[in-house]
Structure 1
């Protein structure tokens, strides 16, 4: 059985070994860009290849040499004096590695070391990342946004940098939506604090995005990326209402302990502050628990007593006299049947293509009680909150009808209803652009 083994970094002979046989890496755009940046990648390899301690020492040496702004050249004696706290052999190994990878340049004519421009760029990028205060950047957007701002200032913002910022905004939006969907109050509040930090960065980034979109020198891809970032920022800012609704829902469901003013949230917060919850039980019981033991003989005596007691009670007990069960006649409510009939009638009006229908023609004929019940349901037509529910009233809210009331009353020749508000029911396809808000029509009893 043949088993394919992934190529090892040390034994890698060519880049093609990582790709499928029918795929050429030179045909990929990203491979071309990475190959073009090979000197920079080699500089990072020289710094970060190996153990963490070795990486720390290499960065220490470079940063220490770059901190001297008085001279651009260093003799070996100067380096030994500045880095006298390092072992000479270890210092020599670090200098040789930096020199062999082009981070330090040796000038044999003058016998001095010089820091190369690529080394300054690499260390400056690392210092920019290390300089971001984690406590002030909970949203982890500061470094990416600073790169976009710096590139925009010098007129060289790239589409990749904009994509990095867009990707971070999308990640934050999904993270906040997951926190809202979780229903956890603690996760919601932590996400809300992070959202506030992200909004601060969004305000700072809006000016940069505006400058990019108004820059006539930017290409179409850059404009599209900037516009996508603007939409992602809007979606992020619009989550404030979602946080408020979720927290209000949790507030309504919070359980309070009697009249103490404490809630389950307060107790959970107090418990979370203790690293060792088991320690709370220390000295909680003043006396140790003493187990009680019973011999088998005592257990038999108790069981025998209980058994005979049950038999005596069974013999002496008398069943109670029987009684006739009370017969009650239950009348089913007529409201569901009346609602079903009303929905059937309204559905017929919704499919009528002749136009609007007067309300009194839809409510009547019926007695005053039924007509009033039907009229009370008319404001539910088109109600979005009601249509999202289940049941008869929700079905009525989803009907394609519009209730349009008007001022005034119309007198009717009906034995039960003397007058009714002027209103009409109109199918949705025939609704005009101007409508009035739904109100229940007034019905006057024919006395």
Structure 2
């Protein structure tokens, strides 16, 4: 009877577990019919190890990981007596240490050898610690794209020939999330979101380059099944979509550059002001001292009320009186319509570029076109405000949409001049501009004559 009862207890426990799991599903759905339930139940010993480590509050989890990492990090020996453990972890209270050791031992993270009276770290515990350490080390790196851990898992599995479809699907899902995130940033039209997304895109592209060889090896593996091949090919297509977003970022940033508003002749733009405001955590503090005195309310006394009533009464009477004849004529004042200073500056800048285009069209002594003109020679000499204004006009050169319009900026866009910028800077011996980007202006030989 005792043996029969002992044999019935495991069956009863398994039945209770099945009943508690089935309580989370619809009445007409069996938990055993779900494929993922089968895979998870098959990994029950490993999942119970994670439950033993991470169940409870954060402080308890930290102490368990601390004890297990300290024991696993000692490569000089594989067996630990209790005095050795007490000496190695002397900074813990004996009661807390005893509780942690009991929990680790009961969940197969530590093995107790009764014959030699020593503890040993189990292989499963080392696998779990290795996975946790890998995730922690990648978490400390500057991986804003959050692809390093997923790609390392795929690379490690491919190296030992055990890559799974689930690992590839996790990587594919992350690529799809990044693509959607970058598309939303481009659609938002925000310069700050675009630049932040572009920096994250550059980091994601670095991971894509590292993972391309891995995906190529998976697709060329004849032993891989069809599901693995399909997942690897989907990752390749997602990577191509991600890499093709460079042009979308460039077009969106160029459009924002054309629409940027400059404040007068100061050289400042709305982007500079927003960047300056974002550097202040408390924007309300900028208003301190802006108002010299509090607002003083005014109250109407009977004397003011009489004056207002009298004014209203007289204005109504004056409005009711009919006008007799037309008023006498007066000469209109003579005014001088001076063109704005910025318009004069634009006309002068347009004349200088037109002269360069005409000069560039005349071949030199050897019949070749003259060399390109350095941009600092075209913008200077001038003050910082004028040079900044001229530089803001350069993106209009060759703009087809602007060239179809009328006005001075349309003439500037129709000039047969190409603007070629670079990312490098050059120091200048100028009183107003210390440095400037290296760029050049060259003649567009394929375009028609300059707009006179």
Partner of residue 121, structure 2: 115
> Is the aligned partner of 1:127 residue 2:136?
no
Secondary structure of 1:288's counterpart equals: coil
Report the counterpart of residue 150 of structure 2 in structure 1. 144
> How many aligned positions are there?
314
Cα separation, 2, equivalents of 1:43 and 1:65: 17
1:242 aligns with 2:248: yes
Per the normalisation by structure 2, the TM-score is 0.66
Please report how far the alpha carbon of residue 311 of structure 1 lies from its aligned counterpart in structure 2 after TM superposition: 4.4
Which of 289, 298, 304 in structure 2 is aligned with 1:293? 298
CA gap 1:46/1:311 in 2 versus in 1, 3 angstroms:
closer
2:23 match: secondary structure = helix
Shift of 1:25: 2.1
Q: Structure 1 pair 313/200, CA: closer, same or farther in 2 (3 Å)?
A: same
Partner of 1:318: 323
Cα shift readout 1:277-310 (whole Å, capped 9, x = no counterpart): 111122234x314626354123223213412441
Correspondence list, 1:47-66, <5 A: 47-66=53-72
Query: Within 5 Å, which residues of 2 pair with 1:366-377?
Result: none
Please name the residue that 2:365 is paired with: none
After superposition, the C-alpha distances for 1:39-91 in whole angstroms (9 at most, x for unaligned) are 11010000011111111111111111111000011111111111111111011
The equivalent residue for 2:388 is none
Question: What is the distance in 2 between the residues matched to 1:223 and 1:188?
Answer: 34
- The corresponding residue for 1:226 is 232
Task: Spell out, residue by residue over 1:132-189, the C-alpha distance to the aligned partner (whole angstroms, 9 max, x if none).
Answer: 1455210000000000001111111111111111111011101111111112221111
Give the match for residue 177 of structure 1: 183
Q: 2:41 aligns with which of 31, 35, 38?
A: 35
Instruction: Please say if 1:202 is aligned against 2:208.
Output: yes
Instruction: Tell me which residue corresponds to 2:109.
Output: 103
User: 2:285 is matched with which residue?
Assistant: 279
1:296–1:162 distance in 2 versus 1, CA, 3 Å: same
2:169 aligned with 1:163: yes
1:253 shift after superposition: 1.9
Shift of 1:12: 8.1
- Tell me: CA distance 1:34–1:292, structure 2 relative to 1, closer, same or farther (3 Å): closer
Partner Cα distance (1:233, 1:160) in 2: 18
What residue number does 2:3 align with?
A: none
Structure 1 residue 316: Cα displacement: 5.8
Where does the alignment leave 5 or more consecutive residues of structure 1 unmatched? 1-9, 323-384, 387-447
Q: Secondary structure at the match of 1:132?
A: helix
- Alpha-carbon distance in structure 2 between the residues aligned to 1:211 and 1:295: 87
Instruction: Output the CA distance in 1 between the equivalents of 2:198 and 2:17.
Output: 49
In the other structure, the counterpart of 1:212 is 218
CA RMSD, 1 decimal: 2.2
Distance 2:22 2:114 in 1: 39
CA distance in 2, matches of 1:12, 1:309: 94
Tell me the distance in 2 between the aligned counterparts of 1:12 and 1:221: 31
Please tell me whether Structure 1 or Structure 2 has the larger radius of gyration of its CA atoms.
Answer: 1
Say yes or no: does 1:26 pair with 2:32: yes
Residues 292, 317 of structure 1: alpha-carbon distance in 2 compared, 3 angstrom cutoff? farther
CA shift digits 1:362-381 (9 cap, x unpaired): xxxxxxxxxxxxxxxxxxxx
Q: Distance in 2 between matches of 1:135 and 1:312?
A: 82
Q: Tell me how far apart the structure 2 counterparts of residues 228 and 301 of structure 1 sit (CA, whole Å).
A: 84
Partner of 1:307: 312
Deviation of residue 249 (structure 1)?
A: 1.7
Distance 1:210 1:302, change over 3 A: same
TM-score, length basis structure 1: 0.67
Runs of 4+ in 1 over 6 A off after TM superposition: none
